[in-house]
A and B are shown apart, each in its own frame.
Chain A
């Protein structure tokens, strides 16, 4: 079974990581390096256990285009639809593992990721990929 582990962040979090904090703790280069090392190790363990499928980080939320139907039916595009503090998908890991509980275990390790003191609100979501379990034989 495949699960997507989703990580969130706001443009403000991206800025803090780039060393431009606005109203929150700033990351030092050492902390950024420690975070990268942690994530690399986390991914490598999944590769080693054969559970790794894919992992990607997304660019700053300012580089977002929202496409929706316009009043005349033609698509309209909004550049940068998110507020600075809006928590949006920042990256994901797709794992293939035995159970939701195993995926949850993998996800929980993320909470140990190093960062500046006082960074709160860190959470990840784990979601099953695909609607029906394989063993229903569909």
Chain B
């Protein structure tokens, strides 16, 4: 018994949350109600354990309390239904009738099964993200709402809808017959990028989201150590997050990579990230996360901006473009080309992207253009482009950075001579 151990209780509960939910759903079904029941058990535990100490078998304690709560929830639901004379029936999905799938359930960890369930293609991406953070991450609806800057009621509805969708689709609680971690990795990647590069609000980061994305990716990596893309994604996250301490000025505005104090970068994270991607790359053809991790590694290993191996980065972006036609990748490629072959070459590539409907109104396109125009010695056009970019982002720190750049060029312009 360890009374008053606040942070460790929280850590323990976050770790146990998916295991407990997995155990309850495996045993009783009813994913939607079981999820509510587990949340209530976690809340009860947070209060009781902090006060009285952690019980001897915390996982069993949580499962027992959650199962009892689930029974109550089911009783209430069934009593209401019988009163209203309605029945809850569902049809077994086709794939559950094929004996092969049922006879050989692959070895699986409940946390991984839950991840696959939450990232099921039947759910919209925002539902996948919210449900993953709540059921696998053990975050409360309030915490998720705060992290995504939406009202709690909105996030609550998003989670309820996602749970209803899972219930309606009758997805069984087990590993898919052909588990493809791509959907899971994409959700984890989205959680990370929302934390690392907020799309709106007053803060540059949501560290709770980046930390959670890394934690969950570590779990997936532990469960699927042989999957090079899982390794690649973990490496990419670590190598990107390593630069976080140098990325914000004291006033909260964004500092671009070439102006960052590289001594502030997290050396430990860089070492781990580089080791991971180096270990993953020899395993067959590299997937997009490994290539992005390799690019991040080249940035992180350059002691000064001038040391950056831009030709190698250009080559890696071209590998990436051959795999996915992502407009943001094209834009990054243009930057790398500009850095290795001069701003004009980069601007020519940016010009080809100006009409892409996916990018046209994105602040990054205009910010990159502004930066390259500045490098090419056209301050007036650069200033206009910086201002255009600033108007197109909802992130205050990024706005501040872009407007400062524009103002600096305005000052230069006004100087005589």
Which residues in A have some Cβ–Cβ distance to B below 8 Å? 11, 15, 18, 60, 62-63, 65, 67, 70, 74-81, 83-84
Contact = CB atoms under 8 A, between A and B. Distances in A.
9 contacts: A60-B74, A62-B75, A67-B92, A74-B94, A77-B89, A77-B90, A78-B88, A80-B77, A80-B78
Contacts of B81: 80
Contact of B75 (A15, A70, A75, A81): A15
Contacts of B78: 11, 62, 79-80, 84
A62 B75 CA distance: 6
Contacts of B30: 79
Contacts, number: 53
Given A60-B71, A62-B75, 14 more contacts: A11-B75, A62-B74, A63-B28, A65-B29, A74-B91, A74-B94, A75-B91, A75-B97, A77-B92, A78-B88, A79-B30, A80-B74, A80-B78, A84-B75
B1 interface: no
B79 interface: yes
Given A62-B75, A63-B71, A78-B88, A84 B97 contact: no
A79 B88 contact: yes
Contacts of B168: none
Interface residues of B, number: 20
A78 B71 contact: no
B88 A80 contact: yes
A51 to B, nearest CB: 31
Given A62-B75, A83-B82, A84-B79, A78 B91 contact: no
Contacts of A81: 87
Contacts of A18: 68
B71 A76 contact: no
Given A63-B28, A83-B82, A76 B90 contact: yes
A104 B87 CA distance: 38
Contact of B92 (A75, A80, A83, A84): A75
A76 B88 CA distance: 10
Nearest to A72: B91
Given A80-B81, A83-B82, A84-B79, A63 B91 contact: no
A51 B81 CA distance: 43
Best-buried of A11, A75, A79 by chain B (most CB within 10 Å): A79
Contacts of B71: 60, 62-63
Interface in B89-135: 89-92, 94, 97
Nearest to A66: B89
Contacts of A74: 91-92, 94, 97
Contacts of B75: 11, 15, 60, 62, 84
A128 B68 CA distance: 35
A81 B87 CA distance: 8
A63 B74 contact: yes
Given A63-B28, A84-B82, A76 B91 contact: yes
B92 A78 contact: no
A14 to B, nearest CB: 8
Nearest to B28: A63
B74 A76 contact: no
B82 A77 contact: no
A84 B76 CA distance: 10
Nearest to B87: A78
A125 B30 CA distance: 32
B87 A77 contact: no
A135 B77 CA distance: 51
B84 to A, nearest CB: 13
A60 B72 CA distance: 10
4 smallest A-B Cβ distances: which pairs? A80-B78, A62-B74, A78-B89, A79-B88
Nearest to B70: A63
Interface in B178-219: none
Contacts of A67: 92
B78 to A, nearest CB: 4
Nearest to A62: B74
